[in-house]
Amino acid sequence: SVFFIILNLISVKLTGKFQIFLVILLCILLFLYIFRGSMSLNVHRYTPFMPFGRRALFAAVAMVFISFGGLTKVASVAEEVRNPAKNLPYGMILAFCTVLLLYGLTTFVTVGLLDGHEFAWSLTPISTGGYKIFGTVGSIIMAFAGMLAFVSTANAGILSASRFPMAMSRDQLLPEFFAKVNKRFNTPHFSIISTGIFMITVILFLNLENLVKVASAMKIILFIFVLLACIIMRESRILNYKPAFVSPLYPWLQSFGLISYGFFLYEMGIVALLAAGGFIVGSILWHRIYIREKVMRKSALIHIVERVTAKEIAGDSLGAELREVLKERDKIVEDRFDKLVKRCEIIDIGKQITPIEFFTIVAKKIAERLKINPKQLLDSLIEREKESTTEVRPGLAIPHITIDGEHKFELVVARCEAGINFTQDLPPVYAAFVLVGSRDERNFHLRALSAIAQIAQDPDFDKNWLRAKNIEELRDIILLARRHRNGA
């Protein structure tokens, strides 16, 4: 563990390369064991298939559940993964299939090689199986493979687990020093060292069987919360929740998972449940003592309640957090249009109005910002509309004019669910972008028109625009839209 703490402190890239080498070598040895062992199987050892019944099988499955803990380790290093939207799902699916294949075939071969009493008395059944295939050399090779498995698990465990304190510290859930990054190696040194010390302490002072049970129970509870989070986030219908990978067979797959995990927890026994409960109680106490006074967050559950009660009780903190996640994931670099949108006036009109009424409201807003005559601005907007309609497609209008002066440019965005009747030939407008700029801003004027056109081309734009709960959600639709950006 000390060696891997030092390795993780020095370099994430070096740690990753070392991990790849360990895993490839381990897979080669296991496939060799499976291939050669499959030629020496005794089929009579597979009957009876479950001598102690299904309940014993489920208890064993629950106990070794920690073996699938690597799935969450993949996600924990998302910040250091290239193209996480694509590579994380691929990595997790590939990891699950590989582990399932290796575990299944290795167990199948080992059962076919060893008698029941050999299993009962051996602490290293795969090494014993290797002895039956290759003799003493085989026993040594498979013992080495077992050591590789432990080593790779320890390395991956420190690599991934150390990122949790760092992330929690950034969210003010742990003291600030956990988020500090070593300037020389660019690694979270305090987080890595504290994680390593915790792991060494647990290994030294916990009974092996109880350690495995507690670890598996915590992993099952973690997966339960992951499934609950998936259900809550999807049912909340938060506008800024835009996952790049959508879990299939929703909600049936998630519901089946919750029931299965609950059953596994029940089969774990009282010791594992008490230990897991202790961790949960400790977390609640930490929240009450340290976190509650520092951080105020709104749960996605509030958005579900809002859907049911039709009350504006949901805060913006969750939406703002998701907004930052999307900006980082999609590598959105703000350009001048984004900065304009962040400070522009957005109007949410609750009744049907005429174009004249709409332009009157807009002219007043823009005139206040640009320090110009609102009557003159209103006349220019009306005259421009008379020349040719600015309704570019059903439901969307982009009125835009030039004014006298220099370095003047302003945007007003409006939503009118009841509609603005720009023309008799087209449906009412519910989304309007009004651009007003001086002649020297003509280049940016064209870029702004192009940006709006790209935003409105999104297939979900109309649905999201009418579904947005408030002005900030309308602003987020524009800021987070996929479009070509020209740089700041």
Q: What does pLDDT average to over the chain?
A: 82
Task: Give domain 2-287's CATH superfamily.
Answer: Amino acid/polyamine transporter I (1.20.1740.10)
**What's the confidence (pLDDT) of residue 313?**
41
At 114, list the tokens. 């060893």
**pLDDT of 334 above 50:** yes
pLDDT-derived band at 294, boundaries 50, 70, 90: low
**What's the confidence (pLDDT) of residue 311?**
43
Burial 427-438 (b: 16+ CB within 10 A, else e): ebbbbbbbbbbb
Distance CA 224, CA 335 (A): 41
| Matching residue, tokens 């807009």 | 362
Would you say the pTM of this structure is higher than 0.85? no
Mean pLDDT of 201-228: 80
**pLDDT of 310 above 50:** no
Please tell me the total number of residues recorded for the chain in this structure. Answer: 488
What stretch(es) of the chain map to CATH 3.40.930.10?
333-479
**pLDDT of 326 above 70:** no
At 115, list the tokens. 């008698």
Distance CA 55, CA 59 (A): 6
Task: Give domain 333-479's CATH superfamily.
Answer: Mannitol-specific EII; Chain A (3.40.930.10)
Distance CA 69, CA 349 (A): 51
pLDDT per residue as tens digits for the range 367-415: 999 989 999 999 999 999 998 889 999 999 999 999 988 999 999 999 9
For the chain, the three-class secondary structure string (H helix, E strand, C coil) is CHHHHHHHHHCHHHHHHHHHHHHHHHHHHHHHHHHHHHHHCCHHHHCCCCCCHHHHHHHHHHHHHHHHCHHHHHHHCHHHCCCHHHHHHHHHHHHHHHHHHHHHHHHHHHHHHCCHHHHHHCCCHHHHHHHHHHCHHHHHHHHHHHHHHHHHHHHHHHHHHCHHHHHHHHCCCCCHHHHCCCCCCCCCHHHHHHHHHHHHHHHHHCCHHHHHHHHHHHHHHHHHHHHHHHHHHHHHCCCCCCCCCCCCCCCHHHHHHHHHHHHHHHHHCHHHHHHHHHHHHHHHHHHHHHHCCCCCCCCHHHHHHHHHHCCCCCCCHHHHHHHHHHHHHCCCCCCHHHHHHHHCEEEEECCCECHHHHHHHHHHHHHHHHCCCHHHHHHHHHHHHHHCCCEEECCEECCEEEECCCCCEEEEEEEEEEEECCCCCCCCEEEEEEEEEEHHHHHHHHHHHHHHHHHHCCCCHHHHHHHCCCHHHHHHHHHCCCCCCCCC
- Least confident among 217-231, 311-325, 370-384: 311-325
- Looking at per-residue pLDDT, the higher value among 109 and 312 belongs to 109
pLDDT-derived band at 328, boundaries 50, 70, 90: low
Mean pLDDT of 1-13: 70
Query: Under a CB-based contact definition with an 8 Å cutoff, are residues 146 and 131 in contact?
Result: no
* Phi, psi (degrees; rounded to nearest 5) at 52: -105, 15
pLDDT per residue as tens digits for the range 457-479: 988 899 999 988 889 889 999 98
**What's the confidence (pLDDT) of residue 388?**
87
Instruction: For residue 134, give Cα distances in angstroms to 33, 110, 119.
Output: 9, 14, 18
Across 113-117, 236-240, 408-412, which has the greatest mean pLDDT?
408-412
- Looking at per-residue pLDDT, the higher value among 338 and 58 belongs to 338
**What's the confidence (pLDDT) of residue 437?**
92
Determine the distance from the C-alpha atom of residue 18 to the mean position of all C-alpha atoms in its chain, rounded to a whole number: 26
**What's the confidence (pLDDT) of residue 366?**
94
- Least confident among 32-36, 185-189, 342-346, 411-415: 185-189
Query: Under a CB-based contact definition with an 8 Å cutoff, are residues 411 and 374 in contact?
Result: no
**pLDDT of 146 above 80:** yes
- Least confident among 70-74, 328-332, 387-391: 328-332
**What's the confidence (pLDDT) of residue 17?**
77
**What's the confidence (pLDDT) of residue 148?**
80
**pLDDT of 128 above 80:** yes
Mean pLDDT of 412-430: 90
**pLDDT of 210 above 60:** yes
Nearest residue to 295 (alpha-carbon basis) of 165, 470, 169, 473:
169
Mean pLDDT of 222-233: 86
Query: Under a CB-based contact definition with an 8 Å cutoff, are residues 432 and 416 in contact?
Result: yes
pLDDT-derived band at 1, boundaries 50, 70, 90: low
At 107, list the tokens. 């167990």
**What's the confidence (pLDDT) of residue 237?**
72
